[in-house]
Chains A and B, each alone.
Chain A
Amino acid sequence: MRHIGVENRNLVKGAQATLRCPKSRNRTTPFLVVAAFTVLVGLPVHAAVGPSDSERIGDLERKLERSQQIIEEMAARILKLETLGARHEAGISNAPPTPSSTPTQAAAGAAGSPPGGERAPADPGVGLSLLGTPLHGFADVGGVLTRDKRRRKGFTVGSLDFYLTPELGSNVKGVVELLFEVDSEGSLAVDLERLQFGYAFGDYLTAWLGRFHTPLGYWNTAFHHGQQIQTSVRRPQFLDFEDKGGILPVHLVGLWGAGGVGLGDGKLTYDLFLANAPSIEDAVLTMNMAGATQFRPSYGANIGYAFRGALDGFKAGLHWLRGNVQDVTASNWTALNITGGYLLYTEEPWELISELYRFDNKDLKGKTGTHGSWALAGQLARTFGRWTPYGRGEWAGLNQRDPYFRDMESGRSYTRGAFGIRYDLTAKAALKFEIRRTMTREVTGGRHGETAGETQFSIRF
């Protein structure tokens, strides 16, 4: 028999006493059992646990619903085929339309058209097509109030814009845009706004030929006649259309190359163009859609960088346009030289659009040298649900010794402040109201101020 030393005996006695103690036994053993059970069972279960029971049931219900939908669609198709077969046997010539004849938005260049494919508008509505080509458009009506006796006031009809975007193969596409608008005299004018056809070599280059929106800045190509996609009622005055008081050639006829490549975290975009130089006729810029008796080119570029990541939504760019402009009426020649840049932020709920234009135009006929002018605009908007208030400031300092501005009816320096609010009735219809104050420097040197309020109901389809 082994002898146990005194110290060890005391330890054993102590351990025996602990085990015999009811409290400690009751505290320790059940806890150990439960903890062991939890570890053995709980961890593997935790590793496998996914959605809760209610989520799994919900998921199964959704799958069942989809299966029922498929069955119903197939039953409807079988019924139609049976009806078609029965009518054919009975010798009836007018067959009901088959499911494949419903309008689709399938890309024409795809290897096959998806059966039953349709455009799903955000609101109840119908995707339009014309002879299988997607048809889109904008329209606007409204009203204007002003104390300026020279301006018309009352209810107004704005414009009706149709545009087709045919895809004529995997790489060939076009834009055909027809505009009906009421001019400042109340007459209806029809304009072939865009007629351009292009070949897409890849994301890096699409080459266009035809009449297109001049790729200067951001506003002109992003919105143009798309009133519903534009936050404000009006665009900046100096960016307005040639026949509405604009001082820039916002339409060109010629060649346009556009594309983008990834650069760092963002994307570098570019536009290069070569087109007919515009002319000034009866104090209004015109783009020479049929060319000119003496071809004069205008050319330019727009280089931009769209940020991603932390600066997602920001885009900055530079633009440039050069061309010799003839004033047919006043027999002047001006070398138009526009440079500038833009800065945007278009991530909801904010929208910031700012554009700067610097003119260094050279008087070629009168030899009065080069004249500098500036124009800039900045608009800030913030969306709160369906409401989007906005504010815009514009400033144009146009040198009147420059024949380009002097010969143009709208070539006067001005400042404007505009405030407005937009309410989205639906995703495709908006109500807007804008108040603006414009101070224009007259030819005589005096100033003319005008305050106007304008409302607009604009839609897209």
Chain B
Amino acid sequence: MKRGLVIALAFWASLFVLGGLGIAQAPSLYVIGGQGVALSAGEIKEVYLGEKVFSGSVRLVPVDNAAARAAFLSKVIGMTATKYESIWTKKAFRDALNPPTVLSTDAQVIDFVKRTVGAVGYVSTPPSGVTVLQAY
């Protein structure tokens, strides 16, 4: 009896540990695109590093989201904010590419993406009315 209870308790404990490690987690970051935007996960990173400026003939307009920037830089770009801004400084200096405008909230990003051709942004809540390019 005691052995059976111990085994069962161990099994339950392992379930909670694995759940805590995020074996099954819902997306917490959504990259969204405006009209004329179709990007793969790799291309999204290129857009936000200034390596991809056009999608076909459409000029891409990426925007940062202050509320979700830390998560975006960690999950999608894979670098610190300092490194990210350093890259954009060099891009502006060499290639005359200005860094993405920073908007404050998910609502502002969604609004901008809806009304701007070529816009790319990211939000932390499931958006409606816009195309989700990638979920992380």
Contacts and interface: CB of A to CB of B under 8 A. Distances in A.
B90 A38 contact: no
B70 to A, nearest CB: 11
Interface in B28-74: 28, 51-54, 57, 59, 61, 63-64, 66-67, 69
A400 interface: no
Interface string B75-100: 00001011101100110111111110
Nearest to A133: B98
B102 A118 contact: yes
A50 B82 contact: no
A348 B87 CA distance: 12
A117 interface: yes
Interface in A90-126: 104-107, 109-112, 114-122
A96 to B, nearest CB: 20
A8 to B, nearest CB: 31
Contact of B53 (A47, A104, A198, A200): A200
B130 interface: no
Contacts of A49: 15-16, 18-19, 23-24
A268 B15 CA distance: 48
B93 to A, nearest CB: 5
A293 interface: no
A34 B19 contact: no
A445 interface: no
Interface residues of B, number: 63
B102 A34 contact: no
Contacts, number: 163
A117 B59 contact: no
Contact of A173 (B7, B81, B96, B104): B96
A46 interface: yes
A134 interface: yes
Interface string A207-239: 000000000000001101010010000000000
Contacts of B92: 134, 136, 165
Contacts of A110: 59, 61, 116, 118-119
B93 A427 contact: no
Contacts of A171: 59
A40 to B, nearest CB: 12
Interface residues of A, number: 66
A338 to B, nearest CB: 21
A136 B108 CA distance: 26
A47 to B, nearest CB: 7
A111 B1 contact: no
A111 B115 contact: yes
A74 to B, nearest CB: 10
Given A120-B66, A134-B92, A167 B98 contact: yes
Nearest to A164: B96
A262 B95 CA distance: 18
Contacts of A112: 112, 115-116
Contacts of B53: 200, 202-203
Given A112-B116, A114-B103, A427 B96 contact: no
Contacts of B101: 104-107, 114, 117-119
B1 A229 contact: no
Contacts of B15: 42, 45-46, 49
Contact of B4 (A30, A134, A202): A30
Interface stretch (A65-73, A143-151, A320-328): A65-73
A48 interface: yes
Interface of B: 1, 3-5, 7-8, 11-12, 15-16, 18-20, 22-26, 28, 51-54, 57, 59, 61, 63-64, 66-67, 69, 79, 81-83, 85-86, 89-90, 92-99, 101-108, 111-112, 115-119, 125
The 3 residue pairs across chains A and B that have the minimum distance between CB atoms: A31-B4, A49-B19, A117-B101
Given A52-B19, A70-B107, A122-B82, 16 more contacts: A42-B12, A45-B15, A46-B15, A46-B18, A46-B24, A49-B15, A50-B24, A51-B22, A69-B104, A73-B104, A118-B101, A167-B98, A170-B118, A203-B52, A229-B86, A260-B51
15 contacts: A31-B3, A34-B5, A38-B11, A47-B24, A48-B24, A49-B23, A49-B24, A70-B105, A104-B101, A115-B108, A119-B99, A122-B81, A171-B59, A200-B54, A229-B86
